[in-house]
Amino acid sequence: MTRTAIVTGATSGIGRATAVRLARAGFHIIATGRNPQRGAETVRQVEAAGGSAEFHSFDVTSESDWAAFADNVTARHASVDALINSAGSFFSKPLPDTTLDDFRELWTADVESVVLGTKYGFRMMRDTKSAGSIVNISSLAGLIGLDDCAAYCAAKAAVTHFSRVAALEGAQMNPRVRVNSLNPGVIYTEMITGAYGDNDAVKAFVMDGNALQRVGTAEDIASAATFLASPAARMITGTAMLVDGGRGAD
């Protein structure tokens, strides 16, 4: 039976790389995002890697969108084996300049999307009797501080701890569902270049913070997400898996 993986935020960065890596591991990919053109490019990349994919455009912060998506998926697929909640957003701003609207917008994009994703992930896995694995993309910033990123750090800390508690619920399901957060360090993706720029100075800043003297890539995170989704990690639940080049260790 074909295993199925849902990847949100699959139109760029970590989400897209994870879709491609999971496809190489044999999963049929259900990619989601807001931009159909970018979604089509993700499907093309999955197919180029020898996999199969479909793209669904919906808003991961809308509960009614999740409900409709879940009905669609469970009607057409026999199992939902993995869900990678990768969609998210980022901004950097000193706290005195951060408005409540800024904070709420980020909280909705980063936390509510994961809460809804995990809720409907549980439902889809329950309804298809799948011993699934849910991976919530958090951040090193959910474990330690990052200058001028109070809202983002708070949101990612929420994602990390929410995932731990969801793991306890998932463990009571039959079959059991695993939930982990995956906490990347600073990864050189559009999320970073969009906020700070795409140039050698930014790249050097990103690299210098790492103990390992290289830039972290979306593929690094895709590999870890694939590991957590795989049977190799069948006893791993409720953890925060750090993939940060040693950035947070000193």
Partner 1 sequence: MIFDVKDKVVLITGAASGIGAATARLAAERGARVIATDLDGEGIQGVAADCQCIGLRHDVTSADDWDNAITAAVHHHGRLDALVSNAGFVNYAPIIDLDLARFRKLNQVHVEGSFIGLQKAVAQMRAQAMGQPATGSIVLTASVMANCTAPAISAYAVAKAALANMARAVGVEVGRKGDMIRVNAVCPGPTRTPLLEGALPPGAMNDPAHWTDVPLGVPQEPEDIAESILFLISGESSFMTATQMVVDGGWSLT
User: Catalytic positions, please?
Assistant: 152
Site for partner 1 contains 4 (CB under 8 A): no
CA distances from 135 to 116, 207, 244 (A): 13, 26, 17
**Which CB, 68 or 171, lies closer to partner 1?**
171
Are 152 and 91 in contact by the 8 Å Cβ rule? The answer is yes
Q: What whole-number distance in Å separates Cα of residue 11 and Cα of residue 9?
A: 6
Q: Give, in degrees to the nearest 5, the angle at Cα 181 between 19 and 175.
A: 80
Backbone torsion region of residue 173, taken as left when φ is above 0, otherwise alpha when ψ lies between -120 and 50, otherwise beta: beta
209 to 228: interface string for partner 1, x by CB under 8 A:
-xxxxx-xx--x--xx-xx-
Q: How many residues bind partner 1 (CB under 8 A)?
A: 40
Q: What whole-number distance in Å separates Cα of residue 85 and Cα of residue 116?
A: 10
**Which CB, 33 or 185, lies closer to partner 1?**
185
Q: What whole-number distance in Å separates Cα of residue 202 and Cα of residue 198?
A: 6
Which amino acid, one-letter code, is at 142? G
Shortest distance, CB of residue 123 to partner 1, whole angstroms?
20
Angle between helices 150-170 and 113-127 in degrees, nearest 10: 20
Residues 8-67 that bind partner 1 (CB under 8 A): 25-26
How many other C-beta atoms lie within 10 A of the C-beta of residue 95? 10
Site for partner 1 contains 197 (CB under 8 A): no
Shortest distance, CB of residue 108 to partner 1, whole angstroms?
27
Site for partner 1 contains 124 (CB under 8 A): no
Tokens in use for 109?
Answer: 């994009």
**Which CB, 39 or 245, lies closer to partner 1?**
245
Site for partner 1 contains 1 (CB under 8 A): no
Shortest distance, CB of residue 25 to partner 1, whole angstroms?
4
Strand partners, 135: 84, 180
Binds partner 1 (CB under 8 A): choice among 38, 93, 164, 203 = 164
Shortest distance, CB of residue 93 to partner 1, whole angstroms?
28
Shortest distance, CB of residue 213 to partner 1, whole angstroms?
6
Pick the stretch among 54-62, 73-81, 190-198, 208-216 that binds partner 1 (CB under 8 A): 208-216
Are 15 and 5 in contact by the 8 Å Cβ rule? The answer is no
Site for partner 1 contains 168 (CB under 8 A): yes
- Separation of first and last alpha carbons in the chain: 45
Where do contacts with partner 1 occur on this chain (CB under 8 A)?
A: 25-26, 164, 167-168, 171-172, 176, 178, 185, 210-214, 216-217, 220, 223-224, 226-227, 230-239, 241-246, 249-250
